[in-house]
């Protein structure tokens, strides 16, 4: 019996090491809870985004996927890559991340959430921040305008020249707010429940110009509206608090918010965000600036 004690002790040590290694390889919610970060489902990080998930924010996926156009779980596309980078910082491997469909406007609506955070080109605004938590910026964004080539608006070269035209944007977006507050058109801008509907309206020439963020504008001209072009982008000026930027959205008062902010701060400091922008958004930067 005495001779067995050292052996049993060794087995116990090996078991403890194995458990520790397993936890390190596949972190559970308990590991994150210890750091003050709780999740909706134990052992899982649930991330929301809209469906369809458009390039260059998301890329890839099989035809059998339940996601239209792109599957956010591929890790390809800027927002998918950023989401997994944040997950890694929180202690979750790709196998412990689950994606869920959340319509754009519902993501920042008041109330409880089915996700831990939502990443879907959601710009920070004081009004939105009253009912949900926003993370620090993972991308500072310029607004842009897409028009059909050969139309009258296609010859405009400044913001004031846009005021006479019928413009449109998705409901609830800062693109729509930009039309109202910066362009101030002479006629009521068109508003759409989805960006897909707004794109169709531009394609059918029911609106003269579509306001979207710059990377999305490049996708619209490349794949969605033939014979269209980016007329220009608009300067993203002002203090950091006023600069138009994307943040991930969390339920108001979520304990996870501070943890996500630490993760994004680290990803910015170590160059990860810059590298991912170069990888996925490098082609979506050049367009004339309208003033």
Q: Same domain, yes or no, for 136 and 157?
A: no
Q: What is the pLDDT at residue 16?
A: 40
| Strand pairing class (143-148; 228-234) | antiparallel
Beta bridge partners of 228: 148
pLDDT one-digit tens code per residue, 22-65 = 333 344 443 444 357 889 999 999 999 999 999 999 999 876 67
Report, as ranges of residue numbers, the positions in the chain whose pLDDT lies below 70: 1-35, 63-64, 237-243
Q: Same domain, yes or no, for 126 and 216?
A: no
Beta bridge partners of 249: 118, 134
Q: Same domain, yes or no, for 91 and 220?
A: no
Q: Same domain, yes or no, for 97 and 163?
A: no
Q: What is the pLDDT at residue 240?
A: 41
For the chain, where are the E strands, in sequence order?
45-49, 97-101, 117-118, 132-134, 139-140, 143-148, 167-170, 190-192, 209-213, 228-234, 245-246, 249-251, 289-290
- What DSSP element (H or E) covers 71? none
Three-state DSSP state, 210: strand
Q: What is the pLDDT at residue 242?
A: 52
Decide which of 193, 216, 234 is a domain's last residue: 234
Q: What is the pLDDT at residue 172?
A: 87
Q: Same domain, yes or no, for 127 and 151?
A: no
Q: What is the pLDDT at residue 83?
A: 98
Give a yes or no: residue 62 inside a domain.
Answer: yes
- The residue among 141, 180, 103, 114 whose CA lies nearest residue 273 is 141
Q: Same domain, yes or no, for 116 and 147?
A: no
Q: What is the pLDDT at residue 35?
A: 59
Q: What is the pLDDT at residue 62?
A: 72
Decide which of 234, 256, 279 is a domain's last residue: 234
Give a yes or no: residue 3 inside a domain.
Answer: no
Give a yes or no: residue 21 inside a domain.
Answer: no
Q: How many domains, the chain?
A: 2
- Read off the CATH number of the domain in which 254 is found: 3.40.190.10
Give a yes or no: residue 1 inside a domain.
Answer: no
Q: What is the pLDDT at residue 65?
A: 72
Q: Same domain, yes or no, for 147 and 202?
A: yes
Say if residues 255 and 38 touch (Cβ distance below 8 Å): yes
Decide which of 193, 214, 234 is a domain's last residue: 234
Tokens of 253: 């008062």
Q: Same domain, yes or no, for 223 and 260?
A: no
CA–CA distance from 111 to each of 41, 136, 175, 221, 240 (Å)? Answer: 17, 21, 24, 36, 28
- The residue among 204, 158, 205 whose CA lies nearest residue 182 is 158
Q: Same domain, yes or no, for 92 and 194?
A: no
Q: Same domain, yes or no, for 263 and 226?
A: no
Q: What is the pLDDT at residue 32?
A: 43
Give a yes or no: residue 190 inside a domain.
Answer: yes
Domain range enclosing 200: 143-234
Q: Same domain, yes or no, for 110 and 249?
A: yes
pTM summary value = 0.78
Give a yes or no: residue 16 inside a domain.
Answer: no
- The residue among 159, 143, 158 whose CA lies nearest residue 215 is 143
Q: Same domain, yes or no, for 90 and 179?
A: no
């Amino acid at each position: 019996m005495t001779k067995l004690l050292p052996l049993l002790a060794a087995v116990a040590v090996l078991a403890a090491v194995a458990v520790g290694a397993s936890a390190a390889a596949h972190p559970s919610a308990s590991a994150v809870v210890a750091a003050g970060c709780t999740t909706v489902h134990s052992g899982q990080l649930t991330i929301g985004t809209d469906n369809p998930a458009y390039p260059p924010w998301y890329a890839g996926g099989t035809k059998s996927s339940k996601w239209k156009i792109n599957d956010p779980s591929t890790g390809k596309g800027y927002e998918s890559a950023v989401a997994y980078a944040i997950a890694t910082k929180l202690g979750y491997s790709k196998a412990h991340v689950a994606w869920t469909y959340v319509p754009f406007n519902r993501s920042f609506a008041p109330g409880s959430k089915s996700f831990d955070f939502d990443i879907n080109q959601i710009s920070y605004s004081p009004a939105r921040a009253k009912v949900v938590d926003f993370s620090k910026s993972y991308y500072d964004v310029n607004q842009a305008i897409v028009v059909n080539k050969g139309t009258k608006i296609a010859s405009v070269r400044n913001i004031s020249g846009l005021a006479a035209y019928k413009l449109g944007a998705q409901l609830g977006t800062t693109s729509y707010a930009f039309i109202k507050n910066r362009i101030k058109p002479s006629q009521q801008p068109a508003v759409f429940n989805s960006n897909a509907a707004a794109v169709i309206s531009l394609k059918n020439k029911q609106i003269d110009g579509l306001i979207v963020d710059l990377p999305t504008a490049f996708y619209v001209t490349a794949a969605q509206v033939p014979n269209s072009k980016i007329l220009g982008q608009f300067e993203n000026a002002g203090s950091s608090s006023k600069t138009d930027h994307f943040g991930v959205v969390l339920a108001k008062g979520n304990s996870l918010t501070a943890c996500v902010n630490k993760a994004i701060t680290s990803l910015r400091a170590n160059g990860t965000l810059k590298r991912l922008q170069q990888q996925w958004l490098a082609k979506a930067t050049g367009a004339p600036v309208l003033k």
